[in-house]
Structure 1
């Protein structure tokens, strides 16, 4: 079974390839390649489609972290579109004795996603209206409510009911949405129309005003001015030299630094749970949480040698803050509530403009013919799962088959008590909620791969 899943996880073509956490999003990304776009066009088209297909995980009120390479690059680029603390959050937290809930009005962070998608689209060829159109059409005609979406809505039912007691499009007062039901999202279609027009400035107009009204009504402190402060941090990814070659990852404030530190000791043996626990303990976030479902990943590669992986997120665990802006079917993130340390003087305290520490990260490695890039959702389990995957990739000169075999290798994760649990023993086989996407550049082909554990897919042409 593992051999079959490994083979089906990988797609290789001569034009390009796309992997995503949603099958429909992967197909929409491939359509951008078929219409003459490059990998950046494909990943933005797929990413925007996921904001419609996976509204509990990602959206235009979330954040974007990415790593990419272009033909001839010697170093990958780290891209971070993550909002800083609202100007009033520090004082609001202090007034509450630093007891800030992880969800609700004060938990809402400044969305970085519009600026992130817009910048990645600038690296493409097709333009924002074309990249937005398929996602807009999907929202208008409706998404098919998948078993995964039904599960995540069930897990978040109390959160959504607390903040939308009259029900919402994702959790109607009449009862849960059944798997297979078609759910039109006309508000999200309007949101994507606004994004097509305004791009990175999305929240400077009507959408931002609607966000501020919703957050204020829930006791938050975001202002329209706060929403216009996002900048995209684009810089060479940092590198460490491992026993098996170099490894690059996204820069601070992402957990890319934690991932590379795991491998930076130069030991040839595979990195294990003890090493991961040691590194994560220095992140000062307390006990590890179980994996959440507030994040997804998309990736694309083209025949020109461009490759990009995007991690986009509403934060942890699912449906972010629990607040929905009804006019736009928009789930608001809780990056501030989950990411900041609400403690005066802490280096990760919510000082105005400071970006919170985030578990989101992506990585890159070399092989003889080019690059391999990857990422997974999973909250604080992202580092353990990426380590488990890279243990199978770093020692070899990776082929397309290596990617599939690495994806089906049993994952291990670390529980709140610090105990490591492995698939097939303490966890069911394929029981982790990892959802890796990988892309591989080559001299005459492009490869993408998607984790077989959930609803991801890889397609190519």
Structure 2
């Protein structure tokens, strides 16, 4: 009964369009943009920027971004990748430390790619970056109630934040933890968002970048102001594969999109939730991850996802991240309220000569990825989706995609969001929701967003397990 009730609430359809996001307020902001004449790209961008204020442990201006964009009338999606390259001095730093993995701390801080990604998304819209950022600026200035999910992530990251901010920071004051419901104002982030509207992809080429480089290098990191100049988002054809006899598109390397294709190509179509079906897909996912992974243990909770669709047929899914664990590197840039990502430390393989080792200008592998699936009948309709979750993104996306291969009605979309989820622990062991000793009911930390557009009424769905929501206009 609980899943049935949740299924009814996780779906939204509207004649203007629909938005799914990791926070209800963000999804609502996206639909406001649709009502103001924006398209799906404007809506997704506004929702994503709002999430940088609402979900700072997960995503932010100093993080990175991947997306699939499908303009109306296009045969398929285009991939957008905004992952910052390695700083020029990172290889020397790795050698100096004996190639000791720098998963958190100053040496882990990566060159931010998110501003280039947000700016590129604005280029697909029609209202501009300033209009998209306006609601986020207002949230940061007025303040937002500290949510239960942010409080939980802050508690889990308490020792990390204290290590790198012993005098406290906005997200963890020196003397106490923020209480659920306490209003958190972020004036520095509000100003950083304003600077984004002025500088776009060059956000870190100015004073914020100089402050970031100084703060990181003082603490033993490798980023210089020169590393922060000229970071651009890249567009490319998506990676293409087959699942259940249909084409499946994903974001290409350095994302984990190919691992999702690899896993789904190795199993037959969805046959239900029986043990044999679950174990067959789990085995395929294990093997795909073994071929893909970077050599760093899987972690989660440093990412969020947004998807939007409109009546014209535009559709987009965005995954933006501070990397892992929650609060990224653990460093928060004073004066700007920016959580610094640890994509460089978390994404690179710290082994000399490895093809994913730190090298100047090289982008690290990232577990972030998104997928798109065309209508079964070859029509113009398209499904697009993604989830946060570190390496769990692959098993969780594989489960949702296989469910949607069996049908993409409203009921199918709702079922794909609410059916029991399974995941793999750090040793590759299967953990299933509702199984004693494994995961509680609805205990996976998946947070899927899915949209369907291009044919019929634009529809969005959001995983109800955490704080995701779908809102339509």
TM-score per shorter chain, which class? over 0.9
Distance 2:140 2:448 in 1: 25
Q: Is 1:448 the counterpart of 2:460 in the alignment?
A: yes
What is the rounded CA distance, in whole Å, between the counterparts of 1:297 and 1:443 in structure 2? Answer: 23
Question: Residues 179-328 of structure 1 correspond to what in structure 2 (within 5 A)?
Answer: 179-265=180-266, 267-268=268-269, 272-286=281-295, 289-290=298-299, 292-328=300-336
Structure 1 counterpart SS, 2:316:
strand
Q: Does 1:404 align with 2:414?
A: yes
The structural deviation recorded for 1:266 is 6.5
- Where in structure 2 are there 5+ consecutive unaligned residues? 271-276
CA distance in 2, matches of 1:440, 1:351: 39
Matching residue of 1:391: 402
SS in 2 for 1:198: helix
Shift of 1:268: 3.6
How far has the Cα of 1:154 moved from its partner?
Answer: 0.4
CA contact (8 A) 1:389 1:409 kept: no
CA contact (8 A) 2:256 2:366 kept: yes
Distance 2:268 2:183 in 1: 52
What whole-Å deviation, never above 9, does each CA across 1:247-284 have from its counterpart, x for those lacking one?
11000000000001112236345551111101111124
Which structure 1 segments of 5+ residues have no match?
none
TM-score by length of 2: 0.95
1:142-192 CA deviation, whole Å, 9 max, x = no partner? 010011111110000000000000000100012000000001101111101
**Which whole-Å CA distance do the structure 1 matches of 2:102 and 2:121 have between them?**
33
Residues 283-319 of structure 1: CA deviation (Å, up to 9, x unaligned):
24347535x1110001110000000000000001100
Aligned pair in 2 of structure 1 residues 326, 288: CA closer, same or farther (>3 Å)?
A: closer
Answering whether residue 124 of structure 2 is matched by residue 123 of structure 1, we say yes
Q: Which residue of 2 aligns with 1:42?
A: 43
State how far apart, in whole Å, the 2-side matches of 1:196 and 1:243 are: 43
Asked if the contact 2:20/2:462 (under 8 Å) is kept, the reply is yes
Q: Which residue of the other structure, out of 369, 376, 379, is the alignment partner of 2:387?
A: 376
CA RMSD after TM alignment: 1.2
8 Å CA contact 1:56–1:318 kept in 2: the answer is yes
Aligned-pair CA distance for 1:214:
1.2
Q: Distance in 2 between matches of 1:350 and 1:285?
A: 12
Deviation at 1:100, TM superposition (A): 3.3
Output the TM-score relative to the length of structure 1: 0.98
**C-alpha spacing 1:18/1:152, structure 2 compared with 1 (3 Å):** same
CA distance in 2, matches of 1:167, 1:251: 39
SS of structure 2 residue aligned to 1:327 = coil
CA distance in 2, matches of 1:59, 1:405: 31
Output the CA distance in 2 between the equivalents of 1:321 and 1:44: 24
User: Residues of 2 paired with 1:287 and 1:293: CA distance?
Assistant: 15
Deviates more, 1:440-449 or 1:309-318: 440-449
Give, in angstroms, the shift of residue 239 of structure 1.
1.1
> CA offsets, 1:215-263, max 9 Å, x none?
1121101011111142211111121122331111000000000001112
Indicate conservation of the 8 Å contact 1:14/1:444, yes or no.
no
1:431-446 pair list within 5 angstroms? 431-446=443-458
Counterpart in 2 of 1:329?
337
Kept in 1, the 8 Å contact 2:266–2:284? The answer is: no
Change (3 A) 1:346 1:262: same
Q: Distance in 1 between matches of 2:298 and 2:121?
A: 31
Q: Deviations over 1:360-391 (max 9, x none)?
A: 00000011450000000000100011111112
